[in-house]
Chain A
């Protein structure tokens, strides 16, 4: 099979795309159309479904983006494409990424920060450095293909910076970073400042090239399993605010997708102080080990932003369609009337080898219980 996306996928059905575009706009313009939209956060799942490998998805962004668009039509999902991974903008700061057949790119080998003195040498990568770096080059090869080709209707320039805490930890090694949050907080803050400034510069570079840049930011490591609420604020919330402020000042946004991955049982209320834009989506993963109840998210966030639901990714991978359907049905019934809009999703990226029948179960529930 060709790895050139132009040769690998037939043309998208224009009528389907027009309908999906109207549905996707609904939550943001207060005019719900058709039914609740479904976004299982499709990433390498799309490549697997299209006959490619997980590694190819990340190494060939054009192919990855095209496979997401094709899968979106296949499952009647979003009218926009996306492509991202967690360890972004890390190569520019001295990390080496390793591509595997089973995982998104992982930081491999010796970390750039081995000892406390290394922190003093850290300097944020400026916009020009970002533009010349490997991540931006790779990303824009995909974005230019999307913007200028037959998939232009799917194109949204996305900057992602998730998660500033986890990315900072990768610079040192997660165990050491967590220890430093207690014993060497000043070092942690210097690393986080560097990560956030670099990431904001990347958002500005994307906005400079494409006119705007949707921002996807995750609170992945900054959650209740690993940090106290006070530390979540110190290492999570406050840096999200800093990142978005700087990026917005440079022209990024206006779309904001806050993806609070993991368990936020003790800290969710702290995140309400985040920077808001007219296109804010709040996506919360778990309360303890369970999906965070949609009714509670709606109560806290429903008047503030479009909210997104959170089918447990373990259920998506291991569960049966009937279970996914029932969970989806309840989430949709709980969330569909959220005042600023609702999207039905998974708690995080849908696992790459999820049975497609379980994606269909989400969509079927939306068709049958999410009608507007």
Chain B
């Protein structure tokens, strides 16, 4: 692991609250920088990557800082991507897929959790292999959905 990553105290506190280790984030960003599997928003100078790690996914938003990067946020979610059903190409964003420079738009992806498959909106593009769940979707909508699925499945 070679990257230099600055994590400010307020971001470190968020990581702690979410149970995310700094080394996991460093490994993720290192992988994103090596493979270019990331989205880039040049208007805000932000980078965003996401990757399945074991039975969950880890996402990180970061920006260049000095010879390395500064972490903006990181979050996890447990639903696993199983496919993409719709590309809503007119709902555009400022993100582009770093490997192809393709514009990132809203998509509808198929997700699986505890054996249940349901759809949820995310961001992606036709050449992106991965659907990216925005932080609010992952930490609010999907987090509650995961809890309700656990409860309903057990009811």
| B-binding residues in A (CB < 8 A) | 21-22, 25, 28-31, 211-212, 241, 248-249, 251, 253-254, 272-273, 275-280, 303-305, 340
Contacts and interface: CB of A to CB of B under 8 A. Distances in A.
Nearest to B114: A29
B120 A248 contact: no
B145 A279 contact: yes
Contacts of A304: 85, 108, 119
Given A254-B141, A278-B145, A28 B136 contact: no
Interface string B124-148: 0000000000001100111011001
B95 interface: no
Contacts of B86: 272-273
Contact of A21 (B118, B137, B141, B155): B155
Given A249-B140, A278-B145, 14 more contacts: A25-B152, A25-B153, A28-B149, A29-B153, A31-B153, A248-B136, A254-B144, A273-B86, A278-B111, A278-B118, A278-B119, A280-B118, A304-B119, A340-B119
20 contacts: A25-B152, A28-B149, A28-B152, A29-B116, A29-B149, A29-B153, A30-B116, A30-B117, A241-B91, A248-B141, A254-B142, A275-B121, A276-B119, A276-B120, A278-B116, A278-B118, A279-B145, A280-B119, A304-B108, A305-B119
A254 B145 contact: yes
A124 to B, nearest CB: 19
B10 to A, nearest CB: 20
A201 to B, nearest CB: 15
Contacts of B145: 253-254, 277-279
B88 interface: yes
A36 to B, nearest CB: 17
B9 interface: no
B88 to A, nearest CB: 5
B66 interface: no
Nearest 5 A/B pairs, CB to CB: A278-B118, A25-B152, A254-B145, A278-B145, A254-B141
Contacts, number: 75
A273 B91 contact: yes
B60 interface: no
A28 B118 CA distance: 8
Interface residues of B, number: 29
B54 interface: no
A29 B152 contact: yes
Contact of B85 (A22, A212, A275, A303): A303
B140 A248 contact: yes
B115 interface: yes
B136 A30 contact: no
Nearest to B150: A29
A211 B119 CA distance: 22
B5 interface: no
B133 to A, nearest CB: 11
Contacts of B85: 303-304
A249 B136 contact: yes
B79 interface: yes
A278 B88 contact: no
Contacts of A280: 118-119
Nearest to B135: A249
Contact of A251 (B91, B108, B140, B153): B140
A80 B148 CA distance: 14
Contact of A25 (B120, B142, B155): B155
Nearest to A18: B155
Interface centre among A25, A211, A340 (most CB of B within 10 A): A25
A29 B115 CA distance: 8
Contacts of A212: 144
A328 B106 CA distance: 37
A340 B118 CA distance: 7
Contacts of B141: 248, 253-254, 277
A253 B121 CA distance: 13
A276 B108 contact: yes
A25 B149 CA distance: 9
B91 A279 contact: no
Contacts of B142: 254, 277-278
B94 to A, nearest CB: 15
Contacts of A211: 144
Contacts of B140: 248-249, 251, 253
A121 B119 CA distance: 40
A165 to B, nearest CB: 19
Interface centre among B90, B115, B149 (most CB of A within 10 A): B149
Interface string B83-104: 0011010110000000000000
A175 to B, nearest CB: 31
